[in-house]
Amino acid sequence: MTRLDLPKSFERARLLVTPVLAAASAELEPTLRRVVEYHWGWIDAHGERAESRPGKALRPALTILSTEAVGGEAEAALAGAAAVELVHDFTLLHDDVMDDDRERRGRPAAWTCFGVGPAICGGDALMLLAQQVLLGDSSDHRIEALSALLGATQTVIAGQGLDLAFEGRVDISVDDYLDMSGKKTGALLGCAASIGAILAGGRKEQVDSLRGFGESLGLAFQAVDDWLGIWGDPARVGKPRASDLRQRKASLPIVTAMTSDAPAGRALRDWMRSDAVVDDEAIERGIGHLESLGTEEATVALAQQQLGRALECLERGALDSHSGDELARLARFVVEREF
Amino acid sequence: MTRLDLPKSFERARLLVTPVLAAASAELEPTLRRVVEYHWGWIDAHGERAESRPGKALRPALTILSTEAVGGEAEAALAGAAAVELVHDFTLLHDDVMDDDRERRGRPAAWTCFGVGPAICGGDALMLLAQQVLLGDSSDHRIEALSALLGATQTVIAGQGLDLAFEGRVDISVDDYLDMSGKKTGALLGCAASIGAILAGGRKEQVDSLRGFGESLGLAFQAVDDWLGIWGDPARVGKPRASDLRQRKASLPIVTAMTSDAPAGRALRDWMRSDAVVDDEAIERGIGHLESLGTEEATVALAQQQLGRALECLERGALDSHSGDELARLARFVVEREF
């Protein structure tokens, strides 16, 4: 396991985008603003200032680098960077309600503090704020950027719809899974990695290459997340061992295993559709099934394959070489941080 | 009680806007499309074609008339008409989840058939579709219209946030209530009644007058709805007698009563914050309190006052007289249909 240093582009993105987010949330109705700023870790459940662990600002970092990759200045990316982060936060607020997830970034999820209604409303408000921030930008290309953001957000919602439809099913193919994951995770990373180039007036082939880079990175990123959901270190992931197995969540390794006709595949399908008690013994047995079918290696291989595709897209993009290198470093960090 | 005929502009709006809605929903992920088309009454919970009672198409009717009121053709209004209807449906899908309302238009609410997750996702998808439909329009003024739609939708969400924050409170002033109601209901009617004029290139004073008309109509409409929630005929409203009292919902008559220091006001406050059993005797006593404090007359008077303001806005708008008359007829129908 290699430990990579957090690329500086994350921290820079966080510093640049935070004032834009703060100005945006200040426009919200006060009870919804509280939900949103709690979700961001800026305040605690009582409204007091908090210093919680922030998210990584992966999406804003991609957006800023995508502007620079076509010769623009970081400032030209800020509305786009804020917009993709706001859309991401909208999805988190809603997904935690839909998936009954009670924790987020090591704290109670917003809906458990403020209720389902305020969390849904807060998410709705963020999705709109994303569009308002972008429409308020001064770029000549803001409408093209808005159109890309709307399309990507609609795709993310379709992906979440598919994910919900997969619940309880044991007959999902790996292709079905990758289609869902490409929509749910890839589309927004593709948008994040290209909307900055759109705003800065990048050429079509640059924008397309950057979008392809982000989409492949998204699939890789989700595969890593799915690997962490089984084999991640509980202390670092902040969740119990093999949490996806515990929740009977059809993640990539589990879907892969369920497509197998070997006894371990059949056993896993039976477990996934049963309501047998989830105890440590069942979890260890489930991990054994997954490992005997080679799904850990398959998951890592898929992440590496998609990382490779992402890096190829960068090569093809005729991008500024320094920014291209930074995007490649960031992609490697995201995918290889745990392996 | 006068019974008015349904103005023809409703039916015309429904016929014109339905194909636009159908084309939009056809773009959705199939499980979300099913949620949406069920919500519209086009299919039943099993996906079979249904002929359910549709909504009134009040908002599309306002939009089409607002285009004609500034000299535009109905066709120029269709993207705006569909957009406001889609936003309205987004709010219904989400509000039914948040308010735990199990019925909508005499059928099970979408979330009770398909689950909370698909209903939230379906609402999210509709909000985005509204913006996509508008952005795809050919009007030179579509960006101005989109900006108006985003602002109005954000205001509606703020209104819902306030409404949620009012739950369980017995110290809401009538002004607080009208502020919430203006946001939750007035803002979208104001948008519906002016976005058609924006798309057709209406002058600023025309657009402003039409928006003011819609906002006042929204307050009147909500007051009528609140009247129905206490005094409406259960058979026609499709809800039990005094349903707002049963649900301890702080509607206009109840808020008005709770501001009174008379014994009936105190008794109502005590009831609203108690968890006493809701039986018919309690409901009759509650209605007695409301009536003894004159809140029925006050609610009707507020509706009439806001209708008057709406009609004054029309007078000031320098609008096409035929369309102005139709808007006035429609407004009177909406407010006076039950009194």
B154 in a domain, yes or no?
yes
**Chain A residues within 8 A (CB-CB) of chain B?**
27-29, 31-32, 94, 97-99, 115-118, 120-125, 127-129, 131-132, 135, 143, 146-147, 150-151, 153-154, 157-158, 160-162, 164-165
At B96, phi and psi to the nearest 5? -60, -35
Longest alpha-carbon distance in chain B: 60
Residues of A whose CB is below 8 A from B161: 29, 31-32, 118, 121-122, 125
- Decide if the complex's ipTM is over 0.90: yes
Are B107 and B85 in contact by the 8 Å Cβ rule? The answer is no
- The pLDDT, as a whole number, for residue A132 is 98
B106 in a domain, yes or no?
yes
B2 in a domain, yes or no?
no
Measure in Å the smallest separation between the Cα of A93 and chain B Cα atoms: 11
B108 in a domain, yes or no?
yes
Interface touch B157/A32, C-beta < 8 Å: yes
Look at residue B339 and tell me whether its pLDDT is greater than 90. Answer: no
Of B25, B41, B84, B94, the C-alpha closest to B59 is B84
Residues of A whose CB is below 8 A from B27: 154
B3 in a domain, yes or no?
no
Instruction: Identify the sign of the CA torsion A110, A111, A115, A118.
Output: positive
Range A285-293 average pLDDT: 97
Q: Which residue has the tokens 């509709």?
A: B126
pLDDT per residue as tens digits for the range A181-210: 999 999 999 999 999 999 999 999 999 999
Of B220, B231, B247, the C-alpha closest to B166 is B247
Measure in Å the smallest separation between the Cα of A115 and chain B Cα atoms: 9
Could you tell me what percent of chain A has a pLDDT over 70? 98
pLDDT per residue as tens digits for the range B257-316: 999 999 999 999 999 999 888 899 999 999 999 999 999 999 999 999 999 999 999 999
Measure in Å the smallest separation between the Cα of A319 and chain B Cα atoms: 30
DSSP of B251-278, one letter per residue?
A: -HHHHHHHT--SHHHHHHHHHHHS----
Q: Which of A3 and A242 is assigned the larger pLDDT?
A: A242
Q: Return the CATH number at A305.
A: 1.10.600.10
Measure in Å the smallest separation between the Cα of B22 and chain A Cα atoms: 17
Of B141, B164, B179, B11, the C-alpha closest to B94 is B164
At B108, phi and psi to the nearest 5? -60, 135
Q: How many domains does chain A have?
A: 1
pLDDT per residue as tens digits for the range B79-121: 999 999 999 999 999 999 998 889 888 889 999 999 999 999 9
Residue among A32, A117, A150 whose CB faces B98 most closely: A117
A140, two tokens: 């000549």
- The pLDDT, as a whole number, for residue B79 is 98
Residues of B whose CB is below 8 A from A132: 150-151, 154
Residues of B whose CB is below 8 A from A146: 135
- The pLDDT, as a whole number, for residue A4 is 65
B1 in a domain, yes or no?
no
Residues of B whose CB is below 8 A from A124: 90, 94, 123-124, 127, 157
Of A280, A272, A228, A221, the C-alpha closest to A247 is A272
- The pLDDT, as a whole number, for residue A234 is 87
B113 in a domain, yes or no?
yes
Amino acid identity of residue A25, one-letter, is S
Interface touch B157/A121, C-beta < 8 Å: yes
- The pLDDT, as a whole number, for residue A5 is 76
Residue among B99, B122, B150 whose CB faces A135 most closely: B150
Question: CA-nearest residue of chain A to B31?
Answer: A161
Q: Output the CA–CA distances (angstroms, integers) from residue B87 to B51, B126, B187, B252, in the order listed.
A: 23, 7, 12, 24
Residues of A whose CB is below 8 A from B162: 29, 31
Rounded (5°) CA angle B121-A253-A92:
30
Interface touch B29/A157, C-beta < 8 Å: yes
pLDDT per residue as tens digits for the range A10-52: 999 999 999 999 999 999 999 999 999 999 999 999 999 997 7
Strands A103-104 and A107-108: antiparallel
A198, two tokens: 């759109």
| Burial of residue B234, with CB atoms counted within 10 A of its CB: 0-12 exposed, 13-18 middle, 19 or more buried | exposed
Question: CA-nearest residue of chain A to B148?
Answer: A132
Confidence of residue B27 (pLDDT cuts 50, 70, 90): very high
pLDDT per residue as tens digits for the range B152-164: 999 999 999 999 9
Distance CA A4, CA B146 (A): 44
Residues of B whose CB is below 8 A from A131: 131, 150
- The pLDDT, as a whole number, for residue A34 is 97
Are A33 and A126 in contact by the 8 Å Cβ rule? The answer is no
pLDDT per residue as tens digits for the range A81-125: 999 999 999 999 999 999 888 988 888 999 999 999 999 999 999
Look at residue A136 and tell me whether its pLDDT is greater than 60. Answer: yes
Interface touch B158/A29, C-beta < 8 Å: yes
Residue among B97, B128, B164 whose CB faces A118 most closely: B164
Interface touch B154/A132, C-beta < 8 Å: yes
Question: CA-nearest residue of chain B to A159?
Answer: B29
Interface touch A158/B124, C-beta < 8 Å: no
| Burial of residue A121, with CB atoms counted within 10 A of its CB: 0-12 exposed, 13-18 middle, 19 or more buried | buried
Residues of A whose CB is below 8 A from B135: 143, 146-147, 150
Interface touch A161/B31, C-beta < 8 Å: yes
Amino acid identity of residue A32, one-letter, is L
Interface touch A143/B143, C-beta < 8 Å: yes
Give alpha helix (H) positions in chain B: 8-25, 30-39, 58-69, 78-98, 110-114, 116-135, 142-166, 174-181, 187-199, 204-231, 234-237, 243-246, 252-258, 263-273, 280-292, 295-316, 321-336
Strands B103-104 and B107-108: antiparallel
3-class secondary structure, B20:
helix
Confidence of residue A237 (pLDDT cuts 50, 70, 90): confident
Rounded (5°) CA angle A45-A48-A52:
70
Question: CA-nearest residue of chain A to B97?
Answer: A117
A289, two tokens: 């099934």
Q: What is the average pLDDT value for chain A, to the nearest integer?
A: 94
pLDDT per residue as tens digits for the range A155-181: 999 999 999 999 889 999 999 999 999
B191, two tokens: 């948008």
Instruction: Identify the sign of the CA torsion B245, B246, B248, B251.
Output: negative
- The pLDDT, as a whole number, for residue A193 is 98
Note down the domain range covering A104.
8-336
- The pLDDT, as a whole number, for residue B3 is 55
Confidence of residue A1 (pLDDT cuts 50, 70, 90): very low
3-class secondary structure, A191:
helix
A290 in a domain, yes or no?
yes
Mutation for A interface: B157, B176, B188, most A CBs within 10 A: B157
Buried b (16+ CB within 10 A) or exposed e, A241-261: bbbbbbbbbbbbbbbbbbbbe
- The pLDDT, as a whole number, for residue B1 is 42
Residue among A121, A127, A157 whose CB faces B160 most closely: A121
User: Measured in Å, how far apart are chain B's first and last C-alpha atoms?
Assistant: 5
CA A174 to chain centre: 19
pLDDT per residue as tens digits for the range A262-283: 999 999 999 999 988 889 999 9
Measure in Å the smallest separation between the Cα of A37 and chain B Cα atoms: 15
Of B150, B143, B153, B89, the C-alpha closest to A133 is B150
B322, two tokens: 């035929």
